[in-house]
Amino acid sequence: MSVLSAHIGSKQVTFLAPGLPKKGYEIFRFPFLYNPVLQVHFTDRKTFYTDVFRYAIKKLGLSVQDCDILICSDLEPVELDLDIKVSTPASALLADLLDFNVMYVNSTTSITPSRMSKEDILAFLANLALVPNMIVEKAKFKMYHDFVRFGSLDKAYELDPKLPILFCGDRFSSEYVKDTDMFQSLLTHIRTPGVFSVLVDMNGSYLPSLMLKKYRPEVYESLLSPDVIPTILGTVVRVDSAVECLFSTDSGTSQFFEVPRNNLFFVPLEGGSKAHISVKSSSLGQYEGTVGGGKLGFVVDTRSIDSNDPGIEEENIISYENIERQIGEALAVL
Amino acid sequence: MSDYVPIYKKIIHANDVLVERSLPNEGSLRVKAGDIVEAFTEIGSSKYALNNFLVDPLFSAQLFPGKTFARGETIGRFRGKSVDAPFNGVLEKQGDAFVLVSQKETFVLLSGVWGEVVDVAENLSALIKTHTTNIHMLASTENSVEGELVVFPNPSSEMQMQYLKKYHKNVYKKILYVGDYFQEDLLEKAIELEVSGILAGSADRELFSIAKKADIFLGLFSGFGQLSTPKDVFSTLTNVSNRYVFVRGIEGLLRIPMPEAFDDPEVRSSTVKTNLKLLKKGVRVVVFSEDHFGWVGFIEKASKDSIVVKFEKNDTSVEVPLPNIWALV
């Protein structure tokens, strides 16, 4: 009997099919959800998801008659005209992750004043509410898209500096969002001063793999693969003041640098590499320790932590584009 | 990458739709189950007072049943201000309260649809099986209204107000399609003229709170902001101007009764169609992105790396990321 583990998020459905003959497993992301605004007049949620699961099963080379379906979902449980072996809320799986600061980013919530035309903002947000899985492309709207997300987390989200941060949720795992855009959003969500090791579930397979771990451990054991464990991004020093840093690698190279307030600074540090850092800032005090590298390397982020500060004004849009460019350059180096 | 996208049905032709036509109060029905009716078939009538006005018991006034008031005549005083009769009427005692009731008039109920009467509630309503073209609105208020549809010839927003004022003085309780986009002044004027509902391609989000407060229906075919009405929606509307239509806000549907049943096998089939469609060249789609929200076009190129849509509106081609495309059927 084959297994299909699926996560129904807020923007997409992610399928993980282990035990396939060629690659051993396959991940497939279907970037749509049932949308009552567009569909309630001719189809229902159950029929829609049954069609989506039938399509995924066929695409992944499985058989409807010979497939155990495991589902976790962000919102209410999904019903299918197919046999479901396990259905559980995503929150129940996340609650088991005690070794991480879990940042699960999905929802859109608040609205804040800006210099953009009120009609433009309201129309954009209202249209986004009509079609929530819409991918946002323009910088001025991306600012808003991310800013609205802060409302759900806000600065009240206190991170434990002793634990790594694990980012997951559809905001970070869409195949249609550029890495630079995703990392920009991710960095801006870290709002507690500290030095953090950061990981991200870039393809949405982490929750489906946790389903396997919990309900089909024998299948999970055979699955272990880099694609279904979160990507290590590296280390982020998060402060909202100027920083002095001495950065030394195992190979013996050292560099001293100062990062002024309201800046992002990237130092290339490959995954698997270590560096010793000595950091001094007014908001963090003195910090010394060994940190690891990753896809983004070593990052010092001195932007304001105040949730009202990122704003959506013209100068911040320029800044947003600069940050995306900086991240793009950092990714190109590693 | 997914090869399939969900389908979105904007215009649906439907046979065997049941529509209930009711008298406002008990009267007489002239149809029975099995009768064939047309839109202008008179199916019943009743005596009905179009207006009622509850007279607050705290009014300082000499009130008694049968007392008549002309429109504008003072009924009494309330908190130091005089209250005038809003219409010609006679006082009735209803429970403990006095109600000013306008003169009862004969209410004639027309079928409004083409079809067959399948059931009747004696002296009250008829259930008619009919055929409708349903157009989906992306956003609407939740109320339901019915009435004659008046279609403005897609004028510019400057022309809309002139059109409303000069050419459609008699828009009382009608449903107006006013164009691609309209503004608050037109809504205010429509409320003043007691229009039942306004349909358009788009409008600003804020107009919804005004519409809800005034209990006027508001329906948008394309979304919020300044967006055009899809061509096929506009051409469907222009073909049925002055027809009696039904709007179901909760489903976001404009139901237009049609004289003939649809002969299309897709309409007649009762089997459930799939909700997904293969993306390939030539497929008609609707795009939901910031700059082209609600725009309709055709897939010009669909490869693993890129999807290009050619818009009907201006023949331009634009690359669109996958989740922002739905197949239009």
Region A132-158: mean pLDDT is 58
Least CB–CB distance from B272: residue in A47, A52, A122: A47
3-state helix, strand, coil in chain A (%, to 5): 30, 30, 40
Q: How far apart are CA A279 and CA B296, in angstroms?
A: 55
Alpha carbons B215 and B217: distance in angstroms, whole number: 7
Interface test with B, best of A78, A127, A133 (most B CBs within 10 A): A127
Q: Is the pLDDT of residue A309 over 80?
A: no
CA distance, residue B146 to nearest chain A CA (Å): 18
The DSSP result for A39-59, as a single string, is HTTT--HHHHHHHHHHHHHHH
Residue A281 banded pLDDT, cuts 50, 70, 90 = very high
Distance to chain A for B33, nearest Cα, Å: 28
Record the pTM: 0.81
The bridge status of strand A165-168 relative to strand B36-37 is unpaired
Average pLDDT over residues A151-171: 70
Mean pLDDT estimate for chain A:
81
Q: Which residue has the higher pLDDT, B297 or B95?
A: B297
Contacts of B321 in chain A (CB under 8 A): 135, 137, 176
Count CA within 13 A, CB hemisphere, residue A123.
23
Please, are residues A20 and A227 in contact by the beta-carbon 8 Å criterion?
no
In eight-state DSSP terms, residue A313 is S
Task: Give the residue-averaged pLDDT of B279-291.
Answer: 93
- Give A8-52 pLDDT, tens digit per residue: 988 899 999 988 777 788 899 999 999 999 998 889 999 999 999
Average pLDDT over residues B148-176: 78
To test the contact with chain B by mutation, choose from A47, A60, A131 the residue with the greatest count of B C-beta atoms within 10 A, namely: A131
Whether B139 and A130 lie within 8 Å, measured CB to CB:
yes
pLDDT at B112 over 50: yes
Residue range A94-114: average pLDDT? 63
Decide if A223 contacts A70 (C-beta within 8 A): no
Distance between the two ends of chain B, CA-based, in angstroms? 22
Which CA distances in Å does A157 have to A154, A207, A246, A303, A307? 6, 21, 29, 17, 11
Mark yes or no for CB contact B204/A119 under 8 Å. Answer: yes
In the block, residue with structure tokens 């609650």: A95
What per-residue confidence (pLDDT) applies to A116?
56
Q: What is the distance in angstroms between the Cα of A124 and the nearest Cα belonging to chain B? A: 7
Cα separation, A87 vs A73, in Å, equals: 8
Contact at 8 Å (CB) between B19 and B295? Answer: no
The identity of residue B223, as a single letter, is G
Chain centroid offset of residue B274 CA? 29
Q: Is A34 exposed, middle or buried (0-12, 13-18, 19+ CB in 10 A)?
A: buried
Q: What percent of chain A stands above pLDDT 90?
A: 36
- Determine phi and psi for B189, rounding to 5 degrees: -65, -40
Q: Residue A152 — very low, low, confident or very high, per pLDDT cuts 50/70/90?
A: very low
Name the residue of chain B whose CA is nearest to A13's CA: B2
pLDDT tens-digit readout, A223-259: 767 777 889 999 999 998 899 999 998 888 899 999 9
Closest to A268 (Cα-Cα) out of A184, A197, A330, A187:
A330
**Contact list, B8 vs chain A (CB under 8 Å):** 38-39
Q: What is the mean pLDDT of chain B?
A: 88
Reply yes or no on whether the pLDDT at A292 is more than 70: yes
pLDDT score of B169: 66
Q: Is the pLDDT of residue A111 over 60?
A: no
ipTM of model: 0.80
Query: B64: pLDDT confidence band, cut at 50, 70 and 90?
Result: confident
| Cβ B69 vs Cβ B62: under 8 Å | no
Q: Does B5 lie at the interface with A, CB-CB under 8 angstroms? A: yes
Cα separation values, B246 from B135, B221, B222, B249, B254, Å: 11, 15, 19, 10, 6
- A chain contacts of residue B139, beta-carbon cutoff 8 Å: 37, 126, 130
- Helix, strand or coil for residue B21? strand
Task: Look at residue A109 and tell me whether its pLDDT is greater than 50.
Answer: no
Summarised one tens digit per residue, pLDDT across range B24-63 is 889 999 999 999 999 999 999 998 877 777 777 666 667 7
Q: Which residue has the higher pLDDT, B159 or B31?
A: B31
- DSSP string over A210-257: HHHHHH-HHHHHTT--GGGSPEEEEEEEE-SS-EEEEEEETTS-EEEE
Q: How far is B123 from chain A (nearest CA, A)?
A: 32
Query: How far is B57 from chain A, CA to nearest CA, in Å?
Result: 44
Q: Which amino acid is at B96?
A: D
Closest Cα in chain A to B325: A134
Rounded to an integer, the average pLDDT of A168-188 is 82
The C-alpha atoms of residue B260 and residue B180 are separated, in whole angstroms, by: 29
User: Residue B128's closest CA among B295, B2, B244?
Assistant: B244
Residues B262 and B6: their CA atoms lie apart, in Å, by 25
Contact yes or no for A209/A220 (Cβ under 8 A):
yes
- For A292, other C-beta atoms within 10 Å of its C-beta total 19
pLDDT of residue A252: 82
Closest residue in B to A145 (Cα–Cα): B290
pLDDT higher at B157 or B7: B7
CB contact burial B214-227 (16+ within 10 A = b; e otherwise):
eebbbbbbbbbbbb
Residue with more model confidence, A258 or A308: A258
Is it the case that residue A212 has pLDDT exceeding 70?
yes
pLDDT category at B155 given cuts 50, 70, 90 is low
- Per DSSP bridges, beta strands B325-328 and B4-8 are parallel
How much is the average pLDDT of B1-27? 90
Q: Which residues of A touch B182 (CB under 8 A)?
A: none
Do B323 and A133 count as a contact with CB atoms less than 8 A apart? yes
- Mean pLDDT of all residues in A69-84: 90
Q: State the pLDDT at residue B267.
A: 66
Whose structure tokens read 């129309």? A123
Average pLDDT value for residue range A61-66: 90
Q: In chain A, what residues touch B6 (CB-CB under 8 Å)?
A: 32, 35, 38-39, 48
**Chain B residue at shortest CA distance from A130:** B138
Distance from CA of B308 to the nearest CA of A (A): 15
Q: Which residues in B lie closer than 8 A to residue A138 (C-beta atoms)?
A: 290-291
**Cβ–Cβ < 8 Å for B295, B311:** yes
- The model's pLDDT over B218-250, given as tens digits with 9 standing for 90+, comes to 999 999 988 989 989 999 999 998 899 999 998
Helices and strands, counts by H and E, chain A: 9, 15
Percent of chain B with pLDDT over 90: 56
**What is residue A319's three-state secondary structure?**
helix
Which pLDDT score, from 0 to 100, does residue A153 have?
Answer: 44
DSSP states of B141-179: -S-EEEEEEEE-----HHHHHHIIIII-S--TT-EEE--
Say how far apart CA A156 and CA A133 lie, in whole Å.
Answer: 27
Which residues from B are below 8 Å from A57, CB to CB? none
Mark yes or no for CB contact A137/B289 under 8 Å. Answer: yes
CA A153 to chain centre: 13
Look up residue B65 and give its amino acid: P
Determine, for residues B223 and A47 on separate chains, whether the beta-carbon distance falls below 8 Å: no
What are residue B254's DSSP bridge partners? B135, B247
Which one has a higher pLDDT value, A187 or B271?
A: A187
CA distance A199 to chain B (A): 24
Mean predicted confidence (pLDDT) in A105-123: 54
Q: What would the pLDDT profile of A125-143 be if each residue is shown by its tens digit?
A: 778 778 877 777 776 666 5
